[in-house]
Structure 1
Amino acid sequence: MQVEMDPEETVAKLWQACDRWTERAECFEKLADAGFPDGSRLHRDNASATVGEDSLAVSRYVQERARNAARMLRALHRDIFKTEPGRFHLDATVLYPLMRAAIEDATTIAWLQAPEDRKERLTRAFRALFTDSLYFTENHLLLATAAPTVGAVPVEMGEALSAHITAERTATRTHFERLAGELGLDVSESTRKLTTSAPVKVHYGDNSVEFATWKFLSDLSHFSFMMLRHLATTPIPGTPTPLLHATMLQFAQTVNRVCSDAAERIEQSASIR
């Protein structure tokens, strides 16, 4: 089958898709700064997740993921358009991890805010926050155990840090389990580890272009020499269009689409109804 794909038109579309990243970043920043007024769905979620002085801070988590997505988008735009002013600079090894991160931030926001049921939204927020805390303690424990073996810190300091982090890990789990129980949530589900791929896979589906894009970018982010080389040097069969441009266009369009979806979810959660 003959494929028709004009190289100049492809580059023009890619330029336009990448240039939208500043606009997307500004949108996320404005939404995050605006917050969630009294009466909005996310404000009510926050209130319902508060027991005494303990709060899940679900709105803050969404705001920070939005700000992080904005940072990724600005970094992407800067690398492409500012590295060589006047030229379209495509450094795939830099762009792929940033695109993956932007997709993860955006799809996590959409996944968190998608359920109509409040308990389901809170359960998802619990899983995200608990997993963050779990990774924080697990990675510090790993570092505290490993660092003394190479002389990075004294053995005594490593042992003291290990003891502290072990206690912190136990306290963190106890805190989340207690709070989940007091809120009437399923404790085991609320403290189930959330994989990085889960939000995009659950929200868009196993066979979606969004999940396929995330997986491809994930593999590329870990420096697959064969794939990077293939994308950089191979034209699309039957056309002079570089495979890199066509693939990057699909990636950029997917980034824009999931960011638009996330922004729409934030707007819905911030509206008073």
Structure 2
Amino acid sequence: MKQQSEAVVRSLVERLQLIEELEQHLEGKYFDLALPGSELAADDALMGYLQTSHLVGHCLSVSLDALRTARLVLQDPHVDGGLRLPMIGQFAVLRTSSEAAALATWLLQPDDRVERLSRSLQARMDDVIHDDQLATVNTGSLPDDAKDLVSRHQRHRRENTKKVRERKAHLRSLAATAGVEESVVLPGLPGFGPIVAQASDEIGIRSTVARGTWQMISGLTHPSASRTMMLSAVDFHDETSNRALITADPAVIVHAIDAAFQFHVAALRLASVRGGNATMALGGPTSSAT
């Protein structure tokens, strides 16, 4: 058992080294994803200022930032090669990385241009929907609110409603130009469970395993007692004690990092193909600009 634990710890150290290497790739800068004449450049031309390449670049930046944060959380700065294993902390950012990288992969995945544009428009509509929901919550009134506060909230709601209508109308116009069915765009994204499952083809694993991994990580970011006990290392004080130290299971962390890392690499590969820039892919040719 001890040898197995040591092997898992070594695997975790190796994963953190891979994250450091990923940070050095393109210096972590995901700009100019769409070279002239590429598929992605043609997609961007139909999206106006809501270019797919910008959205993908944002997703990749979010994913990398979250992976970097996970590395900083897990590496002990006071011990060379040492690790820290918080009970929960790293899983929140690994979930962020997995979702961002899976979304980037999902956006670039289809060979069909109309389907790619449809997914890009769904993502943009999802932003509008959630921005609207946030504004609605922020401008909610309570029974004891003063009249001037209620009036101010109502004014902000009217202004927000106008902006939301304009943004949705713009997206509907883009959809019509791109030949995308409006009914597909209006609901926004299908949710990260389906996105992860559909994108899993690009990392070569079963959709059920990919979605299950995402759901497992998501569960660890919530205060679920059963999920924490099920997926953590529990070290009882002694055989008769009911007191225990709960830390993250290194094997679960490795599993979570692998999911995020593989989706990130897949997104880079697809970005290199769609954008016509081979240097985007991890392990691709070295850019002449470096």
Query: Considering the TM-score relative to the shorter chain, is it more than 0.5?
Result: yes
Asked which structure has the greater RCO (Cα within 8 Å, sep 6+), the reply is 1
SS across alignment from 1:56: coil
Matched, 1:250 2:255: yes
In structure 2, the CA distance between the partners of 1:4 and 1:43, relative to structure 1 (3 Å rule), is: same
Aligned to 1:267: 272
Aligned to 2:283: none
Aligned to 2:197: 201
How many Å separate the matches in 1 of 2:274 and 2:117? Answer: 13
Matched, 1:225 2:225: yes
**Deviation for aligned residue 1:12:** 0.3
Aligned to 1:238: none
TM-score (norm 1): 0.85
Deviations, residues 226-255 of structure 1 (Å, cap 9, x unaligned): 3223433348xxxxxx98122222222222
How many Å separate the matches in 2 of 1:198 and 1:94? Answer: 25
1:1-273 aligned within 5 A: 6-27=4-25, 30=28, 32-50=30-48, 55-82=49-76, 84-86=78-80, 87-146=82-141, 154-194=149-189, 195-204=191-200, 207-234=207-234, 244-271=249-276
> RMSD in angstroms over aligned alpha carbons?
2.7
In structure 2, the CA distance between the partners of 1:118 and 1:96, relative to structure 1 (3 Å rule), is: same
SS across alignment from 1:20: helix
Aligned to 2:240: none
Structure 1 gap segments, 5+ residues each:
236-241
8 Å CA contact 2:39–2:275 kept in 1: the answer is yes
Structure 2 gap segments, 5+ residues each:
236-246, 279-290
SS across alignment from 2:93: helix
8 Å CA contact 1:41–1:270 kept in 2: the answer is yes
TM-score (norm 2): 0.80
Instruction: Judging by fraction of residues, say which structure has more helix.
Output: 1
Q: Taking every aligned residue pair, what percent have the same amino acid on both sides?
A: 19
How many Å separate the matches in 2 of 1:81 and 1:218? Answer: 22
How many Å separate the matches in 2 of 1:59 and 1:112? Answer: 10
Q: Which amino acid aligns with 1:27?
A: H
Q: Which amino acid aligns with 2:122?
A: R
**Deviation for aligned residue 1:200:** 0.5
8 Å CA contact 1:148–1:154 kept in 2: the answer is no
